[in-house]
Amino acid sequence: MKFKQILSIVLISGATSLASIWGYNRWIGNPHPTFSQSDGKTPVNYANFVDRSGNIAAPVDFTQAAEAASPAVVHIKTKIPAQQVDNRLPRRGNSIFDEFFGDGFGEMFGGRQRMIIPEQRASGSGVLISEDGYIVTNNHVISDGKGGLAAEINVTLANKQSYKAKVIGNDPSTDLAVLKIDGKNLPFLLYGNSDNVKIGQWVLAIGYPLNLEATVTAGIVSAKARSLSINSRQSQTPVESFLQTDAAVNQGNSGGALINTNGELIGINSAIASPTGYYSGYSYAIPVNLVKKTVNDLIKFGSVQRAYLGIQYPNESLSEEERIKRGIKIGEGVYVVDVAKDGAAAAAGIKAGDIITKINGEKISTGAEMVGMVATYAIGDKVTIEYKRNDKLYTTTLTLKGSPGTYTAQVDAILDKLGAEFKTIEKSTASKLGIRGGVEVKNIGDGLIGDQTRMKNGFVITKVGNTNITSVEEFKKAISQAGNSTTLEGVYPGYDGVYIYSLNDINK
């Protein structure tokens, strides 16, 4: 009887072992089992990652990177003092004045308006890049909003030490600025390499959002070489090739650090895509390779020594109909719409209709990629350009120039859209007006000026955007580089004051 019991136990144990082995091979040996369903639906499986050995993927640890980088991210506070605006209006009875304000307005107020713009305060973030106090931040963080700089800039470190900062240089085109504080042995971030950044990799955003203390958020890189046309608000020659992430960034994060999990700086946080003004899912950072070039130029020269190819390329929002008409294929390369007659590309033999596919062996698919790449080079650098013409590949060596050049066809098209005639004023007229020179607007008809402004014949343009102009040639060059929106600033002979007119849809 005892023998039968022992035999039963042995048989049951053996059967159990065989069942266990079979079950392991069936389920554990295959870490992603699928379930066949008789109803014809697609088999499903759990989404966790388990490798062939049954190991679950370990979570990424951000603590070391955050601890290393946070002390080098600073809080920037700016102050713009109160200002009194004295707007001298043209004398009563002038047709311009009557159209703007109606008869009698000037008499009531003595032809003059005064108002006080109250003191303005703002805050953002910055990143220490050297132990002796150099800081990189966004241009819009230290701007006064009118093309100038804030009157007072204060920097507070993570350890609560505060410093007065001075501006070493700023560049509206890239939306970058360099500040300097007097300090020694300060914490600073090491540069990474934004060319090595991969879509899907983890990143951390560090800054001072909404006037909070230093805040760290995590996300992934969701896209590269994004163009938002946001820098055209402050520059006629915007440079944009943003890293897009889903790390939470809010007002006040501007100028802060985007780092990788090694704690290296790979970008400067600059913008958010948001219908509300607050974080809605996507944020944008300036790649650190572009930051390095810009910072070095600002420290060494006080301004950016920007290199140009000297080509025009389609706007990212070009319609599908227009792409088909021009034979442009998405992802094939950058289509050359026009070549500046005095630019680098023309000298290298590139023509309108060519498609640039590589720069120095690096494939490019979009205009933003091309702009971001070229912006890291210096004037005089030689680069190899691979381009396609009539479905044949060609290679040429091009020497980058310090000017984008002029585009005859583009300028003519823009002038037609403006709907007016332009004439360089005489030196004697300029002297009477107290200006160096300018361009008189005549015969305003159908066009952007007539449709979008109340400009009158005889207006003398002295400035396009932030660029002073004294002749028609300078006006043509400035308006061709103005982007889709700009302002025309100038005077009316015989009347006091400066007038500014806004123009939109210039290059559409």
Residue 140 designated active-site? yes
Q: What total of structural domains would you count in the chain?
A: 4
- Please tell me whether residues 69 and 201 are part of one structural domain: yes
Residue 175 designated active-site? yes
Residue 57's φ and ψ, nearest 5 degrees, are -60, 135
Question: Which residue has tokens 């000297």?
Answer: 310
Residue 222 token pair: 């969701």
User: DSSP of 439-487, one letter per residue?
Assistant: EEEE---SSHHHHH----TT-EEEEETTEE--SHHHHHHHHHTSTT-EE
- Please tell me whether residues 323 and 298 are part of one structural domain: no
Catalytic residue selected from 173, 232, 254, 283: 254
Catalytic residue selected from 171, 175, 338, 354: 175
The string of pLDDT tens digits covering residues 357-395 is 999 999 998 888 999 999 999 999 999 999 999 889 999
Q: Is 85 exposed, middle or buried (0-12, 13-18, 19+ CB in 10 A)?
A: exposed
- Domain final position from 304, 328, 350: 304
Residues in the chain, pLDDT under 70: 1-59, 82-117, 119, 315-319, 322, 326, 407-410, 483, 507-508
| Residue-level pLDDT at 246 | 95
Compute CA distances 362 → 33, 39, 221, 329, 333, whole Å: 42, 50, 20, 19, 11
Chain center to CA of 136: 15
| Residue-level pLDDT at 108 | 40
Q: What is the pTM of this model?
A: 0.69
Domain membership of residue 336 (yes or no) is yes
| Residue-level pLDDT at 195 | 94
| Residue-level pLDDT at 473 | 83
| Residue-level pLDDT at 13 | 64
Residue 254 designated active-site? yes
The string of pLDDT tens digits covering residues 82-116 is 665 544 444 433 444 344 434 434 434 444 455 66
**Residue-wise burial string across 199-213, b where 16 or more C-beta atoms lie within 10 A, e elsewhere:** eeebbbbbbbbeeee
Residue 342 token pair: 């005095």
| CATH number of the domain encompassing residue 343 | 2.30.42.10
- Domain hosting 330: range is 311-399
- Domain final position from 377, 399, 421: 399
| Residue-level pLDDT at 194 | 96
Catalytic residue selected from 75, 125, 140, 480: 140
| Residue-level pLDDT at 101 | 39
- Please tell me whether residues 328 and 240 are part of one structural domain: no
- Please tell me whether residues 364 and 228 are part of one structural domain: no
| Residue-level pLDDT at 294 | 96
Looking at residue 302, the DSSP 8-state letter turns out to be: S
Can you list the pairs that 163-166 forms with residues at least 24 positions away whose Cβ atoms lie under 8 Å?
Answer: 163/133, 165/76, 165/135
CB 366 within 8 A of CB 314: no
